[in-house]
Each structure stands twice: as structure tokens, then as C-alpha cells.
Amino acid sequence: MLSIESLHVTYGGAVQAVRGVSMEVPDGKVVAVLGSNGAGKTTLLRTVSGTLRLHRGRVEQGTVRFDGTDLVTKDPAQAVRLGLVQVPEGRRIFGRLTVEENLRAGGMGNRDKSAKAQAQQRVYDLFPVLKERSSQRGALLSGGEQQMLAIGRALMASPKLLLLDEPSLGLAPRIIGQIGEVIAEINRQGTSVLLVEQNATMALGVADLAYVLDVGEVSLSGNARQLSETDEVQRLYLGHDGGDERRVRVPSGKKLSRWTA
């Protein structure tokens, strides 16, 4: 589905943010990208979603392809039409618009009324509280509810690949766990996910594959569960050494619990 090969990205022609990154997001999988601030995670998503140029970034070398289509030359609108939709860091919902108006904005590119109605019902099934608050302004929602709305707005475009940039940022641990459940459910429904996260416990718990970025380069990659058991990931991202018996738990169960943040 998504293939990135030997990607080099700079800002302003001087600051090198990504150096020779190669990775893949297979169809139907959740792929996590871990790393500290400044590791190049957000730059990677900007490159995939077509928003890199808006931040004065430029691809110097490498290829980014989605279902065989070159993404480097695409703008954000073209990326969305191809099936790539990003949920930005910090949610960035339209605070003055209602929940329903935010969702309508997410589906504006789809002229099929039936498809939009189905997408909206999917969002309300995932997040019942959004249906309850459909006439409430986005700015009046809690942080967790705003994250629901940001994800729901992206799902209105019926993406093939959902790009999530730090969805757990600034949220309480209980809500972060529910985000993991939602990501797993979205994937079970057939949407592939590229998840950029600092919260390794949640990310590795839902991902099939994972990559660790360190100063713009891939330092580790592989099966998410196996990666979570390596000494380096245990020490740097999970807060304990390899001798600790604690492990990341993968969310299980077929039904999504009601999110009532």
C-alpha cells in the first residue's frame, strides 16, 4: 500500500529532518512510528499527506508511493482523493462549528450522499457521544471528545490509509487506552493506519509493525510485539529494562467499549 524508500527531507534547504528513511505500510495493517521530539515523525507524515511544502519542507531524495502512485508531487487535496487522510497533532478541529458541521467538513470531497451518510453513521457508531453532542460547538468539547471529533472528521473521507499524528498527546491515561481501542476497531473495519506516537505502550499494543526513528533515521524496525520485548525499546520507551516481566498488552475483543470522555 504505502512504500517509502531512502527518503531525505530538509527544511529551508538547510535543516535535514529525515535521512534515508525506508518503510512500508502493508494493506490492512497498523504500523507505528516511535521516537522522541525532533526524531522526524511529523515530517514523515507531512511528506505522505502532501502538506510538507506548506511547512517549507522539501524532498531531496527518495520515493514515496501509495498503491503505485508517486506522492511527492501531490498536494493535500490530491492525497485525500487517493485515500490518504491525516489527523494532525493537536486535533485542530473547527472550534466555532458544531460537531455535525465538523463532520460535514470532513466529507466535503465526497459527492456521494449515500457514502457520506454511511461514513457519518460509522463515526457515530464508533463515538456515540458525538451523536449526543452533534449540535454542540467543537470548542466546548473535552480534550478526549475533541480527539474523537478529529478522528471522526478524517473518517468522513472514507480513507484507505489513516495517518494519526500523536493522538494521545495531552490526554489522560484512561482516554489513551480508549484511543488504542478505537484504532484497533478502525483497522478491523478495513482501514490501514500509520500511527505516529511517543506513547510506546499504546502504539505497540495496537500495531502489527513498528519503526523507531532516531534523529531522522530508522534505528529499529520489525514486528511490534517482538520489538516491544527488545531491551532497547523496553529501556528507552517503556520505562523499564529487559528483566522486567511487564509487557505491552494488545487490546482484544470484538466490540469497542463506549467512549464517554
Residue 238 binned pLDDT confidence (cut-offs 50, 70, 90): low
Whether residues 121 and 147 share a domain: the answer is yes
Residues 80-128 pLDDT 10s:
999 999 998 877 888 889 999 989 898 887 777 888 889 999 999 999 9
Reported pTM: 0.86
Whether residues 173 and 153 share a domain: the answer is no
Residue 92 lies in a domain: no
Sign of the CA dihedral 217, 179, 190, 129?
Answer: negative
Whether residues 213 and 173 share a domain: the answer is yes
For residue 213, CA distances in Å to 17, 21, 25, 158, 167 come to 11, 9, 15, 29, 18
Q: Considering its fold, how many domains does the chain have in total? A: 2
> Residue 206 is part of which domain span?
1-83+163-232
Cα dihedral: 135, 136, 142, 145 (round 10) = 20
